[in-house]
Structure 1
Amino acid sequence: MSACNGACFDCPYDFCVPDARPSRLSKAAERQGWRQDALFELEELGDLYGIDPEAVRL
């Protein structure tokens, strides 16, 4: 076993965890992710209920 600190880009070891802390997204990235998720859900609901996505303004 080596003295791996997890800082390497493509670590070959399975036990290595590069950063235990979750990465924090910017507020804009959070909003964009939320918007993409919401649009996906609306498309799924439209398919379920037979609503034409072109007829709905999102």
Structure 2
Amino acid sequence: MEKYENMLNQLQNGEIKSIEIQKEEFYDFREILVKHPLFKHFRGEAKQSGRIIYTYSEIPRS
């Protein structure tokens, strides 16, 4: 799970532009994501084959 925390921190810090999560990883990743203090700043976009691309926004979603 530390892997996902590191990925979220890199995304938040601008070190990476996006995170691609496969459907097999979704529930493990989401467990870490919803506990993140800036949860509402992350945006997931579903793609074909169950992939989800997460990006970070300075403006939180409502």
Higher helix share: 1
TM-score over 0.5 (shorter chain): no
- TM-score, normalised relative to structure 1: 0.24
- TM-score, normalised relative to structure 2: 0.23
Q: Which has the higher contact order (CA 8 A, sep 6+)?
A: 2
Structure with greater Cα Rg:
1
Higher strand share: 2
